[in-house]
Amino acid sequence: MFPTSGPFYMSYPSSNSMLAAQPNPYANGNLIHQPEHVQLLQNVPVAIETVHLYVPNTVIGAIIGTKGLFIKSIMKSSNATVKINPINQDEDQNKIIERQVTITGTPEAQWKSQYYIYDKIRQEGCYVGDDEVRLRAEIYVPTSLIGRLVGKGGHNVRQLQQSTGAIIKLPEDSQQTSASEVPVKIIGPFPASQFAQRRIQSIIQMSRDLTNISKDDSNDDNNNNNNNNSSSEQLNGISQNNLNETSTIVNGSTISDDAVVASSTLPHTDDSATTVDDQKSREE
């Protein structure tokens, strides 16, 4: 049956006869189901990931199936896009050992589709005895994160290999390349490969989230500055309009119209005094 312990819990689709449950070595894997992680993942946007899986050339026909029926079943059951990359016509097909299968989809779609491929290879008997199916997966990682994956003196990558059980190969010349992304190779059986992929993908996603948060904060600051400038301009305009509408120029100075009106209604004591003096003079 489909392994029920792992980063994503899901029941094995029994309705599809081509993908019917078969005894497999992954049912008792060392994957640990952590439901709280699944709950957290349900609260964030699901990322679309691309993984390149390298499979033996001898099983490509079985993975495709008659008239492409099996690979179509994988895509339908996993909701992933699975594409087998064409070979170079100039290459000697007898010397081709493995083929690249590109899988695009959510983390859960990656988990399901890769499981079906691993299990199909096991059914085809490519690995003799108790040997587990070991495939190479390739993930493109931002060049800026390679140093973080390696760690000081290679500490981080060694710890990642010990905790997942997968072999992880990082590009040695990542510091000299001008490419924005470089391939990281993960080699191992299905449980180990999935654990390593999830750890690396989580680092990539966390880095992208932090970058997006920084961009949002920067945009918010710019918007606040623009709003403040606009408010200042509006206040200046209102002050100037009020000044023009409610003021009068008197002797080259600006005074309030209210002040002009008030001054015109005040008693003119000097004129009254002059009138009284003139009247007294005439009486005398």
pLDDT tens across the length of the chain (284 residues): 445 444 444 333 333 444 443 444 444 333 333 443 444 444 556 789 999 999 999 999 999 999 999 999 999 999 999 999 998 888 777 788 999 999 999 999 999 999 999 999 999 887 766 678 999 999 999 999 999 999 999 999 999 999 999 999 998 876 667 889 999 999 999 999 999 999 999 999 888 878 777 666 666 666 666 666 665 556 555 455 554 544 444 444 444 444 433 444 444 444 444 444 555 555 54
In the chain, ranges of CATH 3.30.1370.10 domains: 134-245
pTM of model > 0.85: no
User: Domain spanning 1-133 has what CATH number?
Assistant: 3.30.310.210
Q: Please tell me the distance from the alpha carbon of residue 203 to that of residue 118, in angstroms, as a whole number.
A: 25
Can you give the pLDDT at residue 262?
A: 42
Can you give the pLDDT at residue 279?
A: 53
Question: Quick check: 111 and 80 in contact, CB under 8 A?
Answer: no
Can you give the pLDDT at residue 24?
A: 43
**Domain 134-245 fold:** Ribosomal Protein S8; Chain: A, domain 1 (3.30.1370)
Can you give the pLDDT at residue 22?
A: 42
Can you give the pLDDT at residue 259?
A: 43
CA 105 from centre of chain: 14
In the chain, ranges of CATH 3.30.310.210 domains: 1-133
Can you give the pLDDT at residue 41?
A: 44
